[in-house]
Each structure stands twice: as C-alpha cells, then as structure tokens.
Chains A and B, each alone.
Chain A
Amino acid sequence: MNGAIRVSGLGKTYRIARSGQHVNRATEAVLQRLRHPLQRTEYEEFEALRDIDLQIGWGEAVGIVGRNGAGKSTLLKVLTRITAPSTGRIELGGRVGSLLEVGTGFHPELTGRENVYLNGTLLGMRRKEIQRRFDEIVDFAGVDRFLDTPVKRYSSGMYVRLAFSVAAHLETEILAIDEVLAVGDAEFQAKSIAKMREAARSGRTVLYVSHQAQTVSALCDSALFLDRGTVTFQGPVEDALAEYRRTFSSFQASQQDPSRRSGTGELRFTRAQITEETMDPTADKVVEFDVDANDEVVGSYFVSCHVNDADGNVVVQCDSRLVGMWLDPSTPQSAALRIKDLWLKPGRYTYDLYLCKAGILDAWEGAGAFEVLPKAPYPAVTSDEALTHGQVLADFEYERR
C-alpha cells in the first residue's frame, strides 16, 4: 500500500436510546425485560460520519476543519481506533500515535519519571524508544529538577509541558492531534508547533483537528473540510477555510430552525438580530434577542455570546454571568447585549448565542453576521503593513518620556 492513510466508505452511526428508555443499571434492565418481555428498546440513529473517502500520503500535515458537531473529533477517534467504525474500511500504513488530550494517563501520585514511562507506553512507545528519548523529553518540558517529585506537586504549567512533551516525542509513523497545541505559554506553543512541523518534514503524517484557523494554517499544508459528517473539500488550507466561510450562509439558514440546534431545547431563542449589519471598527455592537418561556424550567438562566471572525476563531466571549445578568424562564424575555470598547479589524464576523443553566439549553451558532467596514480608526494614514498583524485593533497612544 502506498500512502499513509486510506479510507473508503467510512461511516459512524451512534445509537441513542429514545428518551426515558436509557438504562444504566442491571437491575433496571432485568425489571424492564420482565415487565415488557417483547418490547425492544427503540433507538434513534445519529450519523456522525457518512461515506468518507480519503487518501493521505506520507509527510503530509493535514488539518481537519469544520463547525462544531461536524464530526471532526469523531473522525479522529475512528482513525486512532478509540471507537470502531460502523461501515467502511480504513488502512493505516503504520502505527498511529494520538494526542487527544494532554496528560491522559498521568497519575498524580507517581513521579515525573514514572509518568513519562507510563504515558509513553500508553501512547504506543516501546520501552527502548522512551529510554533513548527520555532526556530529550525532559529537556523539552524543562522539568529536569523535578523528575522524582510526584506530579501532584507540579505547577499546572509544568504538568502540561511534561505531558505534551511525552506525546510530542512519539515516534509513530502517523500522529493525530486534537486541539492540544493550545497549552502552555506562547513560547511553548511556538516550540510545539515547530516540533509538529519537524515531524511532518521527517516523512511522518500529521493529522490536526482545530477550531482555530491560525494554527491550522501555521502547521498544515492541506486541509479537509467536514460538513455534517461528510468531507466536502480536500485541498490547500486557504481553500478549505474559504469553503468554511462559503458554507456559512447555508449553515446559518439551517440553524434558524431551533430543532436543528444543539442543546436540551427546554428554552430556545426565538429571535436574534444585530442592530447595525455594517459598522465602523470602533462602533458599539448591539445584539438583540428574544427567548421563549417554559414554566417547567426551575431557576434562572444566563446567556453568552461569542463573536467569531470569518475563519471561526472566537474573538470575544460575552457571558452574562460576568455582569450579573440572570433571566427568569417563566416569562418570555427580550434583551440586548451591547459590546463596548471592542475595536474589530475590518472583515466579516459572525456571532453565536448560547442559553445556559447547568448545561446548554440552546446553542445557536451562526445566529447572525455583520461586516466591519475597512476604515482605520487611527488619526494618521500609513501603509497597510501597520495593520496586518494582530487579531483586533486597540485604542492606544504613545507618550514621549
């Protein structure tokens, strides 16, 4: 077989027992069988992945992008054999190492040294490999003085650095990474991304799942775009991100229908609107929304709003708990969020609304969009180069001392 990964006709279906029929006790299961000997549990089927065909070669770093619930993590879990596919066939040209969550398998009572061996083994390294690379791992994490200290005494920074370092030194031919590069400080992140690039250059294949478009473009040569369980695009990162932007309107349209949104649905947003759909960078952003009522919901709830840039990076989160706003579910509510002092760079933005109590009641992703006009809010005019870096703009000044 040539190529590192070959996938054909892959599908993954979850069976979800209809509400009220989920049983997690043996006694209940037996009782239910006695009471209704002929009834069979009815399942709703949920297709997380559908008809996926892929071919990925050696030495490629491939990003997997898509919206929440598009099946990115499921695809990675199937490829790393954590969960089994329902249909189709996967051929892998070598061992797969996975970095699905940093520090899985670390035990707080064990020392750093013991954890390196335990974790390395779990991730698929052989004892000799770990021995050979032990110094490198410890060096990369910068914890050499604390090797014989139980990791429960580590600072959280040291903990994630050591955990990531073990995973980063995996010598498996295929490496699958799920959002873990976002650990540690900026310097460590840069070091980690460099490490992953190096892995790809040495001929290994890297799969990377992320919501953050920047890290995908920093790390990957090509990308897959997943939309509701199918791969709709495979090609250069820029084009995959363009696809992500292009499909926003159809995604937005589908999310208008509350029954297609995630969340428990005990309460739903009935309307969301931004007062100005085009605005200056410095303008206040005002999002109005209405929520229906439900007498059966006990206690008050809060809302949260994310503003995302065109590539899906979350620019800002406005959680109503932070400003002490809680709403009463027994009557319909109408409210507005005013975001002040946020200077956005010119471009297109979308916003998501969340309605939460203990869990998420309604998640309305892509509740709306707006455009920030290409005006620089600064007194002097200069070349574009002065504005290219950074995520947002800021109100700043220089003072001579």
Chain B
Amino acid sequence: MSTIVITPPGRLNLPAWRELWESREVLYRFGVRDIVLRYRQTAVGVAWVILQPLAAAGIFAIVFGQVANLSSGNVPYFVFSLAGMLVWNLFNGIVGRSSSSLVANQALVSKVFFPRMLVPLSSVLSVLVDFLVATALFVVLLFVYGINPGWQVLTLPLWVAVAVVFASGIGLAASAVMVKYRDVNYALPWVMQILLYATPVAYTLDSVPRDLLWLFNLNPLTWLLECFRWAALGSPAPPAWQMFGIAGVAVLVFAAGTLVFQKMERGFADVI
C-alpha cells in the first residue's frame, strides 16, 4: 500500500504522470459518456457527423471553386475542401469541446478528486470518433474520384496525432483560464472562426497573392493543413521545415498548455 503525501503546491507544478496513468479509466469513461450521449439518438447522431463536414465542404466548393473560380490543383474542389474540413473539424472540435469542459463539469470538480487534466483531455475521444466516421466517407470519395494519394498516405496518422496534440494544448490552457474568466467562452469561437478563413482550409496556398504568402506561412495551422493534404490527397509536399515545425509547435503548445493548466489547477475547487 503506497503512502500519499499532500503538501501545498509549489511554484511549478508538473503533472503527476503516474496518477494520470492510473486514472486512465476516468478518461475512458468520460469519453464513452460523451460518445454515448451523442450517438444515442443514432440516426441523427451519425447523420450529423457526416452531414456537417459535407455541407461545409460543399459550400466552400461552390463559393471558392465556382464563384471565385479558384483552382484546387489536380483534385476536384469538393474533395479538396473536404480534406481541409476534416482536419479543421478535428482541431476546432477538440479546442471547442475541451475548453468548455471544466466549467461544464464544475459539480464534479468541486466535489470529487481525480486528476483534473482528464476532463479536457477526455473530449479528444468523442471528437476522434467523429473524425473517423467522416474520414471513412472521405476514403469512399477517394475511390469514387479515383484519387491515389501515394505512399505518403502512411504518414496520415502522424498528422492526425499532431493535430490532436496541438489542439489539446490549446484546449487545456483555455479550459483552465475559462474557470476564472468566463468570457473566454465567447471569445474563443470567434477567434476560431477568424482562423478558419486565415488558414488555407477552403483554398490552396497557390491562390494566395505572392506578397501576402509570408503572412500565411507564419501560421502553424497552414503547415498542418499542407502536411495533411499532402498525405491525404497527394498534393505537392510542403517544405521539410514545415513538417518538422508543426510537430515541434504541437509539442511545445501542449507542454505550455499543461503548465498553464497545472498552475491554475490547484485553485479550481475554490473558484468554481
């Protein structure tokens, strides 16, 4: 039987990894809860997960492909924008759901002890399930249109992992800040909306004017989108520094998010 020692929090709190690992069941149960709740009304649940990216990709294909007449390289505009929406929804979904998760579960946080990091992290599971369902549809479309992305499709899980780690880092920090400042809940969706248009989700980087390109290249989400589409559609490969860059940024953001979360964590039960 191990002895648990509780002392006042120090300045720098690193998460108790062993405790997190031992409580992984909580992560799983939270994830299952979210998934079950969403898919319980099965017909609507699954249809929504498929319909939402389809409709978004469709409207982007019409607006950017037909109205603005932009080029989507060598794949149909619809498939091109759907690939973008897939990874965007993954990123946006994790940020959105994890950031509001602590406030939504405040009764738990102030009544029961368990590693609090598991609350925002558990939102990843249900978003991932949505992503997998939508990806299955995407694969069908690849066959329908006869698109062969090539060997780099094998790197796809890597970019998915990068997106998850990146988004979780932001979600962790945002969820902790939201406990103290509730208006983050209104500001964050607005920032994400701006980012959706500031990132080449619905258009190619080639359509961006030359003199503005540097601005787009500053945005790490651009790197993520380029890497993802390179792997999923066989689009031209992004420069190697972007590939390594996005992985590095994701890890750094996750580490920073964890630190922010841990710094604020000890006060949660007193504030909520």
Contacts and interface: CB of A to CB of B under 8 A. Distances in A.
Interface string B8-48: 11000000000000000110011011001100100000000
A26 B269 CA distance: 19
A80 B29 contact: no
A29 interface: yes
A88 B26 contact: no
B190 interface: no
Interface stretch (B159-167, B176-184, B226-234): B176-184
Most chain-B CB neighbours within 10 Å: which of A24, A98, A105? A105
A111 to B, nearest CB: 9
Contacts of A118: 29-30, 32-33
Contacts of A23: 181
A304 interface: no
A23 B183 CA distance: 11
Interface stretch (B68-76, B104-112, B235-243): B104-112
Given A91-B3, A93-B1, A122-B29, A105 B184 contact: no
A26 B3 CA distance: 40
B112 A91 contact: no
Interface in A326-357: none
Interface in B90-122: 107-108, 110-114
Contacts of B140: none
Interface in A75-129: 77-78, 80-96, 98, 100-101, 104-105, 107, 109-110, 114, 117-118, 121-124, 126-127
Interface residues of B, number: 36
A84 B9 contact: yes
Nearest to B25: A121
B112 A77 contact: no
Interface in A122-169: 122-124, 126-127
A84 B8 CA distance: 6
A110 B177 contact: no
A60 interface: no
A104 B9 contact: no
Nearest to A15: B270
Given A24-B180, A25-B181, A85-B8, A127 B25 contact: yes
B6 interface: yes
Contacts of A94: 1-2, 4
A351 B55 CA distance: 67
Contact of A124 (B9, B36, B114): B114
B111 A83 contact: no
A112 B130 CA distance: 26
B7 interface: yes
A23 B184 CA distance: 13
B187 to A, nearest CB: 7
Contacts of B33: 107, 110, 114, 118
A89 B6 contact: yes
Nearest to B107: A104
Interface string B177-202: 10011111001000000000000000
Interface in B123-158: none
Contacts of B6: 78, 81, 84-85, 89-92
A87 B9 CA distance: 9
A93 B177 CA distance: 34
Nearest to B26: A121
Contacts of A127: 25
A43 interface: no
Nearest to A7: B6
A227 interface: no
B5 interface: yes
A27 interface: yes
A49 B37 CA distance: 41
A26 B181 contact: yes
Nearest to B28: A121
A104 B1 contact: no
Contacts of B112: 82, 98, 100, 104-105, 122-123
A104 to B, nearest CB: 4
A336 to B, nearest CB: 41
A101 B1 contact: no
A1 interface: yes
A91 B4 CA distance: 6
A25 B182 contact: yes
Contacts of B30: 118
A105 B180 CA distance: 22
A243 interface: no
Interface string A265-301: 0000000000000000000000000000000000000
B254 to A, nearest CB: 22
A82 B113 contact: yes
A29 B108 contact: no
Given A91-B3, A109-B37, A98 B8 contact: no
Interface of A: 1, 14, 23-27, 29, 77-78, 80-96, 98, 100-101, 104-105, 107, 109-110, 114, 117-118, 121-124, 126-127, 173
The 8 residue pairs across chains A and B that have the minimum distance between CB atoms: A26-B181, A90-B6, A81-B113, A84-B266, A83-B269, A104-B111, A92-B4, A25-B183
Given A26-B181, A83-B269, 14 more contacts: A25-B181, A29-B181, A81-B113, A82-B110, A84-B6, A85-B6, A88-B7, A89-B5, A89-B6, A91-B4, A92-B5, A98-B111, A110-B36, A123-B112
17 contacts: A24-B182, A29-B181, A83-B269, A90-B5, A91-B3, A91-B5, A92-B4, A93-B1, A93-B3, A98-B113, A104-B107, A110-B33, A114-B36, A118-B30, A121-B29, A122-B26, A173-B1
